[in-house]
Amino acid sequence: MPELTPGQHIHLVGVGGTGLSAIARILLGKGFRVSGSDRATNPQTDALARDGATIHAGHAADYANDADALIISSAVAPDHVEVQRAHERGIPVYKRSDIIDAVTAGQDVIAVSGTHGKTTTTAMTTHILLQAGRDPSYIIGGVLRSSGQNAAYGHGPAFVIEADEYDNMFHGLRPRVAIVNNVEWDHPDCFPTPGALMASFVHFAELVPGDGLLIACADDAGAMVLAHLRRERGGQTETFSIDATDTTWRAVDLRIESGISHFTVLHDGVAVADGALQLPGRHNVLNALAAIAAAHSQGVAPQESARALVSFTGTGRRFDVRADVDGLAVVDDYAHHPTAIRVTLEAARSRYPGRELWAVWQPHTYSRTQQLMPAYLQAFAAADHVLITDIYAAREQPVAGVSSAALVAAMPHPDARHTPSLDDAVAVLDRDVRAPAVVLIMSAGDAPRIGIDLLQRRNIINDKPTQPGFPPPPPRPEGEGAGG
């Protein structure tokens, strides 16, 4: 593990991304001198600058000159000017997976993993511990609404962290408690086969010590592979579920009243708490169960956790209701995997019964679109209308024959349209959407601007989307970011 000492100068290349901006905040809290660079500033870098970090818009070799160490995002190439300067001067260069153990040192790590749901589950666990007065450190792949931050350094015993599988970042963690929500193939640019992804999760689960705790979703086959492997080795394991009966934690009697999801929490078959969530969807009930189990490992009673979750309002870009005015709701969500799209649409149906549902999707990366194409074609059944923009390339180059136009042409949905640009999508929505309706914008890229522009056209917000009640778009992730 790299040795870091408070007072050292740490420079982060790609500091505007979700993952590195969070690490920068923890380092500031621990007493390091922090600087960072990125192509442009954003709300997270602005907040870091206010709190004492030196932030550079753009890149230059000299920014690395007096650093004791560099931390780089997954998107930073080996020939980056600041990386090259660091090598010239003998300054160590670390990726997130190299440095994260040192960043979390001194606290018991609660690592939240899974192809889907890890941001919300990390945020729920953090919210519970904050409400319980446990003062945790945390790193979340989105901004926690109750704190206004995606990371903070606390003095309590726990460090809650979103365990990002991309680029095997979570292999650098040493979790005392690990949650596995699900294991479903994603990131084909990093994991070329489903087996490669599963092998990565197996390695992550093996990092939990024998006297630590693995918390796995019994409703997911991939998560249960990890649970079975750990049990065979005698490791402490708990499971959570809605559907399975032989499980440590279970939610029963699910119902929706006035937009609130209600359920009863069972622990080893015994009712221990009544739960209520402002976030819609069965998947969020599962996320809540995982958070309750993690908090229980820290001595927080299920009843106390359930009470805390009543006030949980989520994170930016996870079923983020940007506005709901005169029967028109505009919602941002990070969904970009077929399963996430499907469950998010189902959640929108449950939250807004009787409204027309417009799904606006910005595909994320060519490799994912190509490999998961069959599942995408079937993911939009719950929507009345579907608009698909051009693919957000992120770190990739175009792939011949892979396009949004081809995807729409193959989609069996009765009203699926290709709207190449964000402006094209806004124009169609402004022309065709009539209340009562919900516009659900699903994107891991820059498509949240569609909702802002639509609301401006409808005179629901003015030209300052950061006004109170309308949060700004989240920080742009460098590479894959830390989102879930």
Pairing of strands 108-113, 9-13: unpaired
Report the candidate in 247, 232, 355, 225 with the shortest Cα–Cα distance to residue 292: 247
Contacts from 188-197 at CB under 8 Å and sequence distance 24+?
A: 188/367, 188/368, 188/370, 188/371, 188/372, 189/365, 189/367, 189/368, 189/395, 189/396, 190/166, 190/480, 197/115, 197/165
Answer whether 188's CB lies under 8 Å from 368's CB.
Answer: yes
The kind and range of the H/E element at 346 are helix 338-351
The catalytic residue among 30, 118, 125, 184 is: 118
Report the candidate in 11, 23, 10 with the shortest Cα–Cα distance to residue 481: 23
The catalytic residue among 45, 104, 119, 237 is: 119
Rounded CA-CA distance 167/482 in Å is 11
Rounded CA-CA distance 202/101 in Å is 18
Rounded CA-CA distance 477/454 in Å is 24
**Three-class SS of residue 213?**
strand
The catalytic residue among 45, 104, 115, 162 is: 162
Q: Is 119 a catalytic residue?
A: yes
Q: Is 162 a catalytic residue?
A: yes
The kind and range of the H/E element at 108 are strand 108-113
In this structure, what token pair is assigned to residue 283? 């998947």
Report the candidate in 157, 163, 131 with the shortest Cα–Cα distance to residue 144: 131
The residue to which tokens 């079975």 are assigned: 228
Residue 166: CB atoms within 10 Å: 23
Residue type at position 140: I
Rounded CA-CA distance 306/310 in Å is 7
Q: Is 239 a catalytic residue?
A: no
Rounded CA-CA distance 364/46 in Å is 26
Q: Which residues have a Cβ under 8 Å from the Cβ of 67 and sit 6 or more positions away?
A: 9, 10, 11, 35, 86, 91
Strand ranges inside 197-335, DSSP E: 213-217, 237-241, 249-257, 260-267, 270-277, 320-325, 328-333
Catalytic residues: 118-119, 162
